[in-house]
Amino acid sequence: MNARTVLRISGDSPRRRGEDRGRQAREGIRRAWQVYGELFATVAAGASSGARMPDVAALALRTVDATRAWAPELVEEMEGVAEGAGMPFQTIAALNARTEILAEAGAPRAGECSTLVRTDGAGTAGGQCWDWHEELADAWHLQTVTGDVRGFAGITEHGILAKIGVNDAGVGVLFNILGHTGDAATGVPVHLVARQVLGAAGSFEEAVDILTSAPVSASTVITVVTADRAASVELAPGGSAVVAPDDRGWLVRTNHFLDPGLAAGELRGRREPETYDRHRLLTTRVREHTGLLDTGLLGTGPLGTDTLVDLLTAHREDGAEVCCHAPAEGTLGGRWATLATVAVDPAERRLLVHDGGPCTAGPASWTPLTAPTR
């Protein structure tokens, strides 16, 4: 299994969809879990002197309790994945709660995702860099999922139910991790929250309602895009906030809070202020592109792939590392890379995925995915 694999997942119940996923991704899940086990230990060892390996199973099961109270069908689906893959349930739960477990362990994030969305009279489109550990470069796949209320397409990691995607109602989600002083592994995992939106939301309003109802314990911002609307929903242990596009119709997201109330508990930006550098650079670039339409693979609209690539291709010498490259040397936990570049066109219910950073993208390098009907 490699990063370009497309899993076609189906099933008329959460458990059957999970079993189908587990069977198809069995070997990939095993490999991913080996890396995550090492990553959890590495982060714990580096968090503070004398730190011990967190009880990953206990933390994962704590998030399962919260998920079962909010959306029990997601737990059933994870149980199916475990059965289909022939792996312990707590392992699958830990993969889906990897953000929460790493937050509790005090993981530093030397890089992370950058997102751009544009909405205007021509419609809405957007995209992002997905940055993660280089050692997990082969631990993700493309997917289409049918059998839930909504069919959807997107990318995710092996064993994790969803991440970035768009559904058959034209509701898309883009994903950036945040950091708050209250982050822990006690609530519903943010990846499962994204999965719930993709599998259930039939409109912009429904997506926002799902997101703001989720009792999360680790922070993230999920940017919702539909054919004519967009907003970023910031989620944190202390609450949520909806951030609208600016007066030019742009949403620029990196890895810090924009809502003033939630920003009072900012953690990520205080530890790794490069998130502000990326935000400033991208904000400057989009102002220069306001009003520009192009005809990339997304078609004529507010943000085609050519423009997206131009905007996101920025390295340290440009003032901020939006397009991230892992150093040749280093250890697990410190080798960040842009593993994928994703563009979303909600009007067409379509994603385009480039395997790698935007600086390597070309006209023939995008893999198209269209959300299947239920």
- With a pLDDT cut of 90, the percent of the chain lying above it is 80
Enter the pTM of the model: 0.94
User: Considering only CA atoms, which of 265, 289, 285, 287 is closest in space to residue 277?
Assistant: 285
Residue 42 has pLDDT above 60, yes or no: yes
Confidence bin at 45 (pLDDT 50/70/90): low
Percentage above 70 pLDDT, the chain? 91
Which pLDDT value is given to residue 340? 97
Q: What backbone torsions phi and psi does residue 341 show, to the nearest 5 degrees?
A: -120, 130
> Strand 294-296 relative to strand 250-253: parallel, antiparallel, unpaired?
unpaired
Q: Is the per-residue pLDDT at 288 higher than 90?
A: no
Residue 295 has pLDDT above 80, yes or no: no
Residue range 109-138: mean pLDDT, rounded: 90
Tens digit of pLDDT for each residue in 276-286? 999 999 999 99
pLDDT at residue 240, as a whole number: 98
pLDDT tens by residue, 188-222: 999 999 999 999 999 999 999 999 999 999 999 99
Greater confidence (241 vs 290) lies with: 241
Q: What is the pLDDT of residues 18-41, one digit of tens each?
A: 999 999 999 999 999 999 999 988
**Measured distance CA(197)–CA(300) in Å, rounded:** 27
pLDDT of residue 289 exceeding 60, the answer is yes
